[in-house]
């Protein structure tokens, strides 16, 4: 079973308007509501690929109820822990010629609720997959992801981490199966500016040397790069299309990669499916649909470009 963890879920409330006028009454032209959070996006894409999975995390209040009901409607299994105080986030995204975001901070998570999550994590079995994605509530420690991984460290479970800065770096000592920073997060981690594919390879390889088994870098219109556990480097192109919304694109790539690898045990095929899933979501209003994923997959080529000296 694949388990996704979203520690700070949200409703993404997307509003389109002709021109946002600060300090005035604005009228929307279009409004949409989505259950949000990186792990939730992974769960939704996995379900689109007909891969059973279970979403874990914390939910609070009437917003939490909406999120859980929306996932149930999509057929996603959920085992969220209900918080007794506060409510899950509303993330407001206002679109005119640009995009303005106001993200909620999320509810307080008490120690006893955190322990309930740990108990769920400890029940994972060998061959299960645990996907840790996104930010954490301010009430929880920045060591949380490594604390969670430590609960399954002695099992043969695959751990996937998609997070920023120290949340990601602190997990590398546990040799996660896959990490997926995007190109901007890679720059942030190493405090550098990446100007070429050679730079991307160098710093992705560095993350592998620090402990990750596989390093997947999403690069937007430039495609994606994978340094696999054997030291092989794979590069995929990005298919052509109009980008509608990049929210959830990287999460969809994670879902496609995991699904593709579990089905084929082939990193080339995993990268190809991951790239098509990420692009399908970028070209759609929400999570990309399987029909579009299948179409885009035919446009994606994966090349092995060199090998690291191990």
Q: HEC states along 102-117?
A: EECCCCCCCHHHHHHH
Categorize the per-residue pLDDT at 307 as very low, low, confident or very high, splitting at 50, 70 and 90. low
Q: Is 251 part of the annotated catalytic residue set?
A: yes
Instruction: For residue range 11-31, list pLDDT tens digits in order.
Output: 999 899 998 989 999 999 999
pLDDT above 70: residue 52:
yes
Please give the pLDDT value at position 145. 94
Q: What is the pTM of this model?
A: 0.92
Instruction: For residue range 171-228, list pLDDT tens digits in order.
Output: 999 999 999 999 999 999 999 999 899 999 999 999 999 999 999 999 988 999 999 9
The three-state secondary structure class of 79 is coil
Q: What is the mean pLDDT of residues 71-82?
A: 95
Please give the pLDDT value at position 147. 94
Of the candidates 209, 251, 294, 298, the residue annotated as catalytic is 251
Superfamily of domain 2-307 in CATH is Ribokinase (3.40.1190.20)
Categorize the per-residue pLDDT at 9 as very low, low, confident or very high, splitting at 50, 70 and 90. very high
- 199 sits in which H/E element: helix 197-209
Instruction: For residue range 191-201, list pLDDT tens digits in order.
Output: 999 989 999 99
Please list the alpha-helical segments (H only) found in 49-175.
61-74, 111-122, 144-150, 165-169
The domain spans of the chain are: 2-307
Q: Mean pLDDT, the chain, as a whole number?
A: 92
Q: Please report the beta strands in the chain, taking only residues with DSSP state E, as ranges in sequence order.
A: 2-6, 10-16, 30-36, 53-60, 77-78, 81-83, 89-95, 99-103, 129-133, 158-162, 178-179, 214-218, 224-227, 232-236, 302-307
For the chain, state the CA radius of gyration: 19
Instruction: For residue range 107-146, list pLDDT tens digits in order.
Output: 999 999 999 999 999 999 999 999 999 888 888 888 999 9
Please give the pLDDT value at position 310. 44
Q: What is the mean pLDDT of residues 252-277?
A: 96
Q: Of 255, 82, 114, whose CA–CA distance to 122 is shortest?
A: 114
117-121, 250-254, 305-309: least confident range: 305-309
Please give the pLDDT value at position 275. 96
Q: Are 164 and 180 in contact (CB under 8 A)?
A: no
Q: Best-predicted range by mean pLDDT among 30-44, 96-110, 122-136, 259-273? A: 259-273
């Amino acid at each position: 079973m694949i388990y996704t963890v979203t520690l700070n879920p949200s409703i993404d409330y997307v509003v389109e308007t002709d021109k946002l006028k600060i300090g005035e009454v604005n009228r929307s032209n279009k409004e949409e509501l989505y259950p949000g959070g990186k792990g939730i996006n992974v769960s939704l894409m996995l379900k689109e690929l007909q891969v059973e999975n279970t979403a874990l995390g914390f939910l609070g209040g009437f917003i939490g109820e909406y999120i859980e009901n929306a996932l149930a409607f999509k057929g996603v299994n959920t085992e969220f822990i209900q918080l007794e105080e506060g409510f899950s986030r509303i993330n407001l995204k206002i679109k005119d010629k640009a995009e303005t975001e106001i993200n909620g901070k999320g509810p307080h998570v008490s120690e006893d609720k955190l322990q309930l999550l740990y108990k769920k994590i400890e029940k994972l079995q060998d061959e299960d997959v645990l996907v840790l994605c996104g930010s954490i509530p301010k009430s929880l420690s920045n060591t949380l992801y490594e604390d969670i991984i430590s609960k399954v460290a002695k099992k043969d479970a695959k751990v996937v981490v998609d997070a920023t800065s120290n949340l990601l770096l602190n997990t590398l000592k546990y040799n996660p199966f896959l990490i997926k920073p995007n190109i901007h997060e890679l720059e942030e981690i190493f405090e550098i500016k990446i100007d070429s594919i050679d730079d991307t390879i160098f710093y992705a390889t560095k993350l592998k040397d620090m402990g990750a088994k596989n390093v997947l870098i999403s690069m937007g219109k430039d495609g994606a790069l994978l340094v696999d556990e054997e030291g092989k480097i794979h590069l995929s192109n990005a298919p052509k299309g109009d980008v509608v919304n990049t929210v959830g694109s990287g999460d969809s790539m994670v879902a496609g990669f995991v699904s593709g690898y579990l089905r084929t045990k082939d990193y080339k095929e995993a990268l190809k499916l991951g790239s098509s899933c990420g692009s399908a979501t970028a070209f759609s209003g929400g999570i990309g649909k399987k029909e579009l994923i299948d179409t885009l997959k035919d446009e994606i080529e994966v090349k092995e470009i060199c090998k690291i000296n191990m």
